[in-house]
Structure 1
């Protein structure tokens, strides 16, 4: 059995549009969105333990180890493998544990899917290291129990998403570069979705309606108006970045992005970003960097 997997990327996503089309009786919102992978990632490192214990070896301020999606994903995977393997096989060969370290780059409360991506990378890497034998579909079902965005990262490529974000259809997107600005605030997803001002009846679209361009993006982000009103910093970034293109917020915020056809165009805008904001560029990706692990 392989003992370690290092430098495993957990890439960010952007929502190229995000429409809220309704609400289920259980309170979950019905969405339509296009998820876009970008080459800006956390990095996770895994080492197999023989004692079955899961440990996060990196301290993350404000995120207790036991509630971290990384740890929860690893423990959920252990349980799923145990259920699939059976008691007799488990007695002969107990499921290992893992030490998990993370180089955290994606901001929390930024709308980039950092926690969900970390959880997905954990499921992919440990299923491989532990020789768990779970299929992509089985991992996606586990991921949905951790969060609505997790199945997308396990899906492995850009997608048109519906439902609560779990009904996915593969989609090719345009090659481009993004400038992404972090306004310096963390936005709790629940705060935006619970707002009485949120539009919840946007007319559904079809995947064939979707088009992407760097001049004008398809649709809108229904959460943006609410987030910008509650967090003026987000509104300031959107207003500034709109000077250079069709800027919009990703997810429930707080990060704001704008697409550019060429890298040098993104570089020029990046130079002009006010120093009070953190900003970077990222290239659009078509496939998750660990997609091969899903098929191995």
Structure 2
């Protein structure tokens, strides 16, 4: 096989996000539940014969040299050479980008994870999921989650994961029209960094749709970016609305697609909004295992 096309790179939502401490090196210690959802970017991969990694299309706001997809593939190519004693074949990659930059949905990390899984398959590189996670982690703390590929209780800086039962529901997601830079949130003096840690046993499935925990980054993002606060206030009339990640996207869970459609019908025209169903497993894993791409 020389190509894989329309490879999914799903978004994630943080059902809650607590900052429970800070390491000596400045990295924040987090607790969260990451939920995959049925909306995301898609990527096309075609083998090359010259060992080069080439992104074949423009992605607004993301130069190819700094794209996590390209950087992840270059790291994988280096690991391939070490393991197999020869150069990796190379890849052309095209990214169909629909997730917003700075939205807290993990889009760039998801794209990179999909690239690692697809290249590992096309190159017959033979790396395990755990090895791919180690390759991706230096580029982004969320990359291992997308390779892990299922709803997870996440701790540390994002590298410690345990599977957890997620909800079967739909989400309404609002893009408030701003891009929130993660460093601006984590360096804010008023960021709460001492939330009491919870245990996975504290997280009953029934609460996944309601009020469990909070997003400690939300108050800072709302102060710095008022459209985030406005979206949370508006969506809150339909349920427990909160921000995902470090922002800017805001979401609310509803039991079914019909309820999601009713909420979407009321969203102010100034905002982009959409619906997505919860996913129990990363769709690319099933596709690769069943050779369905």
Normalised by the length of structure 2, the TM-score is: 0.96
**Aligned match of 2:100:** 107
Q: CA deviation at 1:154?
A: 0.3
**Aligned match of 2:62:** 63
Residues 200-236 of structure 1 show CA distances to partners (whole Å, capped at 9, x for unaligned) of: 0000000011134475231000000000000000000
**Aligned match of 2:186:** 193
Which range moved further: 269-278 or 77-86? 77-86
Which range moved further: 214-223 or 60-69? 214-223
Residues 4-40 of structure 1 show CA distances to partners (whole Å, capped at 9, x for unaligned) of: 0000000000000000000011111000000000000
8 Å contact kept, 1:248–1:258: yes
Secondary structure class of the residue paired with 1:55 = strand
**Aligned match of 2:79:** 80
Q: Over the residues paired in the alignment, what is the CA RMSD in angstroms?
A: 1.3
**Aligned match of 2:270:** 276
Q: CA deviation at 1:115?
A: 0.2
**Aligned match of 1:16:** 15
Normalised by the length of structure 1, the TM-score is: 0.95
**Which residue among 196, 199, 205 is the counterpart of 2:198?**
205
CA distance in 2, matches of 1:119, 1:29: 22
Q: Is the counterpart of residue 232 in structure 1 residue 231 in structure 2?
A: no
**Aligned match of 1:179:** 172
CA distance in 1, matches of 2:131, 2:290: 12
Q: CA deviation at 1:294?
A: 7.5
**Which residue among 111, 114, 128 is the counterpart of 2:121?**
128
8 Å contact kept, 2:167–2:209: no
CA distance in 1, matches of 2:208, 2:237: 14
Q: CA deviation at 1:156?
A: 1.1
Q: CA deviation at 1:60?
A: 1.2
**Aligned match of 1:28:** 27
Residues 180-206 of structure 1 show CA distances to partners (whole Å, capped at 9, x for unaligned) of: 000000000010000000000000000
Q: CA deviation at 1:61?
A: 1.8
CA distance in 1, matches of 2:290, 2:161: 18
Secondary structure class of the residue paired with 1:22 = strand
CA distance in 2, matches of 1:118, 1:237: 26
8 Å contact kept, 1:181–1:237: yes
Q: Is the counterpart of residue 252 in structure 1 residue 246 in structure 2?
A: yes
8 Å contact kept, 2:166–2:208: no
8 Å contact kept, 1:46–1:99: yes
In structure 1, the gaps of 5 or more residues are none
CA distance in 2, matches of 1:295, 1:40: 21
CA distance in 2, matches of 1:156, 1:47: 23
Secondary structure class of the residue paired with 1:169 = strand
**Aligned match of 1:161:** 154
Secondary structure class of the residue paired with 1:243 = helix
8 Å contact kept, 1:44–1:101: yes
CA distance in 1, matches of 2:198, 2:115: 33
1:3/1:66 Cα in 2 relative to 1: closer, same or farther (>3 Å)? same
